[in-house]
Structure 1
Amino acid sequence: MTRALVAFLAAFEAVITAAIGLGVGLAPLTLVWAVQYHMATSWAVFWRAAADAWLLGLGVDAHVDLDQLTAASLGLPGAVPSFTVTIAGLGVALFTVFMGARVGRRAAETSFVLTGAIAAVAAFMLTAWVVALTAQAEVFGPVIAQAPLVAGATFGAGVVLGIGLDWAAERDHVPPALARLFGVETRAAIAASLRAATAAVALLVAASAVLVALLLFTHFGKAVSLYEALQAGYLGGVTLTLAQLAFLPNAVLWAMSWLIGPGFALGGGAAIAPGSGLSTSLPGVPLFAIIPAHSPAIAFVAIVIPVLAGAVSGFLTHRTLTRSTPPFDTPVDLALVAVGSAVAGGLMLALLAWWSGGTLAPGALANLGPSAWKTGVFGGLELGVGMAFGLAAAHLRGQSLDWTSLRKPDSQVVEKAREVASERDFVTTHERP
């Protein structure tokens, strides 16, 4: 495969990724335009809405300029003539990162990894810039200068992740620059720390997703009531559901911060944490139905879940450490891995918390999401404590006594031993002079 072909295929797949992300929002909006509005209005309005939603999902900020009458009609009494929307619907971003990882892995399978990665990111940046130019309106518009940079960074993170996963799959492949910079033991400690931290964060996010699913199940009736109160119709309901699905990963990460302890902010910085409740009324968005009005102080027991996630990850990581060459199983080694995984896990949690928050609108929808530094610090400590327990338990389990020699002998083994002893006595007796 030639360099030009690798670049073309990578760029083409990047454009397809952007088209799919845009199409998910544009398809239902086009149905609303055709069925509910009978194509009487300009389709460009719905194109701009889909483009704005896609760019916001990638993390691009948007400027909103509302007059006081429009702001009051939308239920935003605290709105100023202009404000900025900074929150990203992570459903779009996660899909983009996933597709970028596919492009990165395919590029890593060729001899022109850098060419494929640069071509894919450049094509995605160009697409985002063009979309941002066509999405401008007097009331709402994405920041054009941010569009190629932020969208390219989101897609580029997936490309880098895909290349890293491809390199990690090849156990014997170590980049020469990395081999010169770090020794074997240092690379082993760093790799084990990153692996343990990633597994612990993944387990914690999975537990948070289960919590959100349980809350959706238990508050399903309230969510349906909010849908009925909005009277959005079938197509409007579908569009609203897709918009909420885009923000569902945000809700999972907010639940993760709640499990860690700091909680998350809703409106003016009011924290929703274990032992606290809502201090302000929320808009009638069905997804907000899962937020409890109050949680008891005993809910702080939930911090056991991050500790357990770290313990399970540490216990499983120890098996990999003992199988490495040479084995990486001394108390000092395990302490280094525990500390390294706590730092790496805290940084990952802080990044996820920062990524999930922002401002959607003034008033009750301002300052949404968890505190990045609190989530990172407390989460890193909890994961680190669990990691230390898991590694220590696995180490002690491997160093435990071998009880096989104290088991009751098998009858066949005893009989065989008697036969051997009898033969030895017979030979000894007949060999005497």
Structure 2
Amino acid sequence: MTRAVVAFLAAFEAVITAAIGLGVALAPLTLVWAVQYHMATSWAVFWRAAADAWLLGLGVDAHVDLDRLTALGLGLPGAVPPFTVTIAGLGVALFTVVMGARIGRRAAETPFVLSGAISAIATFALAAWAVALTAQADVFGPVVSQAAPVAGATFAAGIVLGVGIDWAGNRDHVPAALAHAFGAEVRAVVGASLRAATGAVALLVAASALFVALLLFAHFGRAVSLYEALQTGYLGGATLTIAQLAFLPNAVFWAMSWLIGPGFALGGGAAVAPGSGLAARLPGVPLLAIVPSHSPSAAFVAVVIPVLCGAASGFLTHRLLKRSTPPFDTPLDLVLVAVGTAVFGGALLALLAWWSGGTLAPGVLAHLGPSAWQTGVFGALELGVGMAFGLAAGHLRGQAMDWTPLARDRSVVEKRPTPEPDFAATRD
């Protein structure tokens, strides 16, 4: 394929990504407009709502200016000054990153990876800017100046991830600048640290998702009661469910911070952490039914989960180091990999914690999410300790396997019967 074809295909896929993300929010709202409101109101209101939800999910802030009656109807203080909504529903962002990674991997398979990446990012940023222009309203509207750079940065993260995955899968492909700047041993240690940190964080996110699923199952009756109290109807309940699904990744990352130890904030002085209780009443959102009103001090035992995730990643990483050419299995190499994993893993955890938090409204919902630096520091320590144990276990296992053939050969020699002397041959 030529450079122009690669750029055109990447731009086309970027448009498809934007259309799907926007359509997921627009489809249920259009049904509400057609069935519940019988098309009596302007469809532009629902278009702006879908555009706002999509842009918020990508990380674009939104300005809110409510009058007194509207603020009281939403349960907010009467004279609310204009405020900014900064929290993002990460379901939209994660979908965008996954689609961007898919485009990045396809572009990396061609000689024109840079052209494809620039074309896709520019097209997606332009689409987000155009949508932001159509979503302006007096009460609620996205920040137009943030639409192109923030949405483009979210999509670019997926592009970079896809290119990195393709390069990591191709062991023979090493950029010339990287090969000249760093030696083979440095690249092996840094690469192993990045893989180990990514694997440990992925295991921790999976454990957090399982934890959230168990909480949803345990508090299912309470969530149903909140749905019934809201009286949203079938279409309104479906729309509310889709909106909560967009914030489900946020809940997973908050649960991850809870497992690490620092917990997360829910505004108004409410902090959710092992051994603490809520200091404020939460809004009647069904997803918040999983938040416990109090957790015992014994819940701090949950910090063993990040340690186990680091240990599992360290054990698997040691096998890769052992099989590399030449093998990197010295104590210094293992210490460097453990330290590098702690640094990279802590940085990734801090980024996820920062990404999942923000402000939704004044008052109770003013500060939502975990502390980025606390999650990063404590997570780095726990993952680093687990990684050290995993690497040490793999190293000791490798040494034991090296001695096993020698011990087996020695036992065979000792059990071999000694031949009896032939007296007849001696006599002759």
Aligned 8 A contact 1:132 1:142 in 2: yes
How far is 1:236 from its partner? 0.3
Q: Could you report, residue by residue, the CA deviation over 1:111-163 in whole angstroms, capped at 9, with x for unpaired residues? A: 11000000000000000000000000000000000000000000000001101
Alignment-derived partner of residue 129 in structure 1: 129
Give secondary structure in 2 for the equivalent of 1:280.
coil
The farther-off stretch of 393-402 and 24-33 is: 393-402
Counterpart position of 2:350: 350
1:136-151 correspondence runs (5 A): 136-151=136-151
- Does 2:192 align with 1:201? no
Aligned to 2:332: 332
**Partner Cα separation in structure 2 for residue 203 and residue 39 of structure 1:** 47
What is the 5 A alignment of 1:215-364? 215-364=215-364
Offset of residue 366 of structure 1: 1.1
Q: Tell me if structure 1 keeps the 8 A contact 2:58–2:92.
A: yes
Q: Distance in 2 between matches of 1:274 and 1:306?
A: 14
Moved over 4 A (4+): 403-411, 428-433
Sequence identity (%):
78
Q: Which amino acid aligns with 1:34?
A: A
* Larger mean Cα displacement after TM superposition, 64-73 or 16-25: 64-73
Contact 2:69 2:78 (8 Å CA) reproduced: no
Q: 2:95 matched to 1:109?
A: no
Aligned mates of 1:387, 1:249 — CA distance in 2: 25
The runs of 5 or more residues in structure 2 that have no matched partner are none
Q: Which residue of 1 aligns with 2:44?
A: 44
Retained in 1: the 8 A contact 2:268–2:280? Answer: no
Paired position in structure 1 for 2:12: 12
1:269 and 1:311 map into 2 onto residues whose CA distance is 35
Q: Is the partner of 1:400 in helix, strand or coil?
A: helix
Letter in structure 1 aligned against 2:121:
V
Verify: 1:86 aligned to 2:86, yes or no: yes
Output aligned runs, 1:186-197, within 5 Å: 186-197=186-197
**Partner residue in 1 for 2:70:** 70
Measured after TM superposition, the shift of residue 70 of structure 1 is: 1.0
SS in 2 for 1:277: coil
Deviation at 1:429, TM superposition (A): 7.5
- Residues 408-429 of structure 1: CA deviation (Å, up to 9, x unaligned): 9999x96xx55x935xx55x97
Q: Hey, what's the Cα distance between the residues in 2 that align with 1:79 and 1:169?
A: 56
AA matched with 1:421: P
Deviation of 1:69 (Å): 1.7
1:154 aligns with: 154
Q: CA-to-partner distance for each residue in 1:58-104, whole Å, 9 max, x for gaps?
A: 00000000012210111012762210000000000000000000100
Distance 1:260 1:79, change over 3 A: farther
Cα distance in 1 for partners of 2:80, 2:328 equals 59
CA RMSD across the alignment: 2.1
Could you tell me which residue of structure 2 aligns to residue 392 of structure 1? 392
Distance apart, 1:269 and its partner CA: 4.5
Q: Distance in 1 between matches of 2:375 and 2:262?
A: 6
Instruction: State the distance in 1 between where 2:193 and 2:409 align.
Output: 43
Shift of residue 250 of structure 1?
A: 0.1
Q: Does the CA contact (< 8 Å) of 1:353 and 1:375 recur in 2?
A: yes
2:117 corresponds to which letter in structure 1?
A
Paired with 2:114 and 2:34, the residues of 1 have a C-alpha distance of: 44
TM-score normalised to structure 2 length: 0.96
Q: Does 2:402 correspond to 1:372?
A: no
* Bigger mean CA deviation after superposition, 396-405 or 301-310: 396-405
For 1:23, give the aligned amino acid. G
Q: Letter of the aligned partner of 2:254 in structure 1? A: W
* CA offsets 1:335-357 (integer angstroms, 9 cap, x no match): 00000000000000000000000
Q: Shift of residue 195 of structure 1?
A: 0.6
Shift of 1:398: 1.2
The question of whether the paired residues in 2 share the 8 Å contact of 1:78 and 1:362 is answered with no
Instruction: Tell me which of 408, 416, 419 is aligned to 1:421.
Output: 419
Return the alpha-carbon distance in structure 1 between the equivalents of residues 337 and 149 of structure 2.
35
Q: State the distance in 1 between where 2:186 and 2:427 align.
A: 65
- The verdict on how the C-alpha distance between 1:181 and 1:30 changes in structure 2, with shifts beyond 3 A counting, is same
1:79–1:363 contact (8 Å) kept in structure 2: no
Q: CA deviation at 1:27?
A: 0.3
Q: What is the alpha-carbon distance in structure 2 between the residues aligned to residue 118 and residue 405 of structure 1?
A: 58
Amino acid at match of 1:126: L
